């Protein structure tokens, strides 16, 4: 009975942190993602891709915007992205992102399969390491439109 009570409390606490920290349900599959997002980090990350949405036949540019605890752009950081597929064990790829100024960092990656990819971002500021996991969906390339010359008249 005591173990059951402890389990219920743990699930409740995790649900509370998931709601208060805006954790997506997909992230709950991996408890490390929840822990990374609960960490009171001095840096926060926002990730976008080019192209939007990313597809696996074109290199994808990962664009990361980093702000400090005060919400100001964070520059002169080393920002690394460890990229892996969520549902497969193909290892992790390291991509060091280039600083572009105003808290912006970017790098190019080949995401060669359709599905969910995890991007584990790390950065250092004043000797303190900040981490965050962001997942992105990679899609099949859009179908090529074929034009037929039906003008036989």
What pLDDT, in 10s, does the model give residues 48-96?
999 999 988 899 999 999 999 889 999 999 999 999 998 887 789 999 9
Between 38 and 140, where is the model more confident? 140
pTM here is: 0.66
List the Cα angle 104/106/107 in 5-degree steps.
Answer: 170
Q: Cα separation of 118 and 54, whole Å? A: 13
What pLDDT, in 10s, does the model give residues 108-145?
999 989 999 999 999 988 788 999 999 999 998 878 76
Task: Give residue 142's pLDDT.
Answer: 76
């Amino acid at each position: 009975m005591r173990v059951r009570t402890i389990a219920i409390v743990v699930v409740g606490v995790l649900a509370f942190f998931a709601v208060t920290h805006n954790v997506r349900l997909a992230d709950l599959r991996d408890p490390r993602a929840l822990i990374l997002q609960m960490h009171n980090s001095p840096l926060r990350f926002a990730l976008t891709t080019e192209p939007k949405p990313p597809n696996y036949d074109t290199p994808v540019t990962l664009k990361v915007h980093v702000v400090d605890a005060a919400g100001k752009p964070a520059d002169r950081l080393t920002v690394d992205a460890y990229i892996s597929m969520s549902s497969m064990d193909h290892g992790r790829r390291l991509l060091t992102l280039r600083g572009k100024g105003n808290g912006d960092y970017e790098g190019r990656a080949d995401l060669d399969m359709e599905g969910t990819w995890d991007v584990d971002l790390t950065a250092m500021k004043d000797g303190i390491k900040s981490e965050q996991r962001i997942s992105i969906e990679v899609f099949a390339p859009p179908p090529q439109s074929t034009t037929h010359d039906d003008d036989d008249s």
